[in-house]
Structure 1
Amino acid sequence: MGAQQKTLVILIAAALFTTQSCSPFGRSYRYRMTIEVETLEGLRTGAAVREITYQEALKLADSSGAHVTQQGEAVAVDLPGGRTMFALLESDPYITMQTAFGADSRAILDSAQADMRLAVVKPYPPTIGTDPRAPSNYYHGYPQLVTFEDIKNPSTVKMVDPGHLEKTFGRGVKLRRITVRMTKEAITQEIVKRLPWLEDYQIRQVNLNNTPNSSVASNELADRLGTGYFQILN
């Protein structure tokens, strides 16, 4: 592994928690994602509690499958200089599961929930991704990290390289680790206090460039990101 490559560590520890949905085939899994960032002013952390609901489909004829939904919000980390970094949700809950747990199956969620100890440690090799929508330094296994040049103006959103936070936030700033732990805590709903435009954009269903969600006009980040990357509540 190269010296400049960072390792995303997912620590999956479970507290006893089970929330049954209305269906006997569904179950909800609540977890806390914590981001730790080293700075010259000391360690900075941020966390958010999210929920994945995994509902198995009944087998009809030769078909089977599952329906996955998510609730929660992006993780916000306050950094020196008044800047904030956000670790986003994904529009596809399966990708959110992969980012948090390293897999998108119900089995991995059941395993995390059943284990009462800090038992699973999964380092993610920061291999360079090939997603054409992402920058050339995009790393697999990391959530998307972003910040704003002006947090009051959502169109100023910019991608953050998880392997080189110092390029965006200055000398000495680097990602320490990202951890995931199962929890019984309530889903956090704090991000609206940080993003004054969020509720208005949710109501109007527009992307961060203030255009309708259905009319992505370019490959610019503000065109591609909607409010669901920052908060999803059912």
Structure 2
Amino acid sequence: MKTFSRIQEVTYRRPPRGYTMRGEAVPIALLPGKTVFMTLRSETHVDWLADAILAFDWSGKADEDKPVMPADRDAYDERRFSEIRISRRPNVIWQRDGNGGKIPPSSLGPPMLVYFDDIADPHTVRQVKPGEFDRYFGKGFDLVSIKVVGTDEDVNLTILNVLPWIATLQGDLERERTFGKPLSEIPPEQLLTASAFILDQKP
């Protein structure tokens, strides 16, 4: 079994309510010249990283599934952030058998994973879903789990060394080819922007 990781950071700010994120996609290089990237968003959650941290109760107890009224949102977020104590042990937020720890796959799920037929050409992007790794790496390869571990290490942004075209990317990966098409006809991976691969927001 191989493990791949990157340092990600979410900083809560008040007021105004909100957060900033710093981090980058995780390159999953299982074979020479073949890399899958675990992006910073999912198909339904643009801020997947922050959503994952907020949805997980770091004390190890299941977070109560209670509706939060808009008027109580600031107080709720304040409490959630003040209570977060990131554990130094691995915290499973998604795993292959469908048991996503304290986060059911139906509510959050894994972040989007993508592969480039030509890593130098962003237009060759294609989505790789868990369970499809054997298409690219051969029999026996698959994504087993995604875990978060607390750390004091600093964020080190190096993704531009692997995907240098991110620095000049304007709009989404298929902007020219998808212009004028209904969103329903555009594969979600083609709508990825640079923020799916690198975030360097200032608190």
Report the TM-score, using the length of structure 1 for normalisation: 0.60
CA distance in 2, matches of 1:223, 1:209: 5
RMSD, aligned CA: 3.3
Moved more, 169-178 or 102-111: 102-111
Partner of 2:69: none
Q: Does structure 1 residue 227 correspond to structure 2 residue 180?
A: no
Mapping of 1:1-234 within 5 angstroms? 38=1, 43=2, 45-57=3-15, 66-90=17-41, 92-93=46-47, 95-100=48-53, 102-103=55-56, 105=77, 107=79, 109-113=81-85, 115=87, 118=89, 126=98, 140-201=108-169, 205-211=170-176, 217=181, 218=183, 219-234=186-201
Q: Deviation string for 1:5-59 (max 9, x for gaps)?
A: xxxxxxxxxxxxxxxxxxxxxxxxxxxxxxxxx4xxxx2x32111111212446x
Contact residue 24 and residue 40 of structure 2 kept, 8 A: yes
CA spacing shift, 1:75–1:121, aligned 2, 3 Å: closer
CA distance in 2, matches of 1:216, 1:109: 41
Unpaired stretches in structure 1, ≥5 consecutive residues: 1-37, 59-65, 128-137
Deviation at residue 113 of structure 1 after TM alignment:
2.7
Contact residue 99 and residue 143 of structure 1 kept, 8 A: no
Contact residue 46 and residue 77 of structure 1 kept, 8 A: yes
Deviation at residue 167 of structure 1 after TM alignment:
2.9
Contact residue 102 and residue 141 of structure 1 kept, 8 A: no
CA spacing shift, 1:146–1:184, aligned 2, 3 Å: same
CA distance in 2, matches of 1:160, 1:192: 21
Deviation at residue 187 of structure 1 after TM alignment:
0.9
Unpaired stretches in structure 2, ≥5 consecutive residues: 58-76, 100-105
Deviation at residue 177 of structure 1 after TM alignment:
2.2
Question: What is the percent sequence identity of the aligned residues?
Answer: 27
CA distance in 1, matches of 2:158, 2:39: 14
CA spacing shift, 1:101–1:220, aligned 2, 3 Å: same
Report the TM-score, using the length of structure 2 for normalisation: 0.68
Q: Secondary structure at the match of 1:49?
A: coil
CA distance in 2, matches of 1:74, 1:48: 8
Contact residue 216 and residue 224 of structure 1 kept, 8 A: no
CA spacing shift, 1:83–1:106, aligned 2, 3 Å: farther
CA spacing shift, 1:109–1:166, aligned 2, 3 Å: farther
Deviation at residue 183 of structure 1 after TM alignment:
1.5
Higher strand fraction (1 or 2)? 1
Contact residue 174 and residue 190 of structure 2 kept, 8 A: yes
Partner of 2:103: none
Contact residue 23 and residue 200 of structure 2 kept, 8 A: yes
Deviation at residue 184 of structure 1 after TM alignment:
1.6
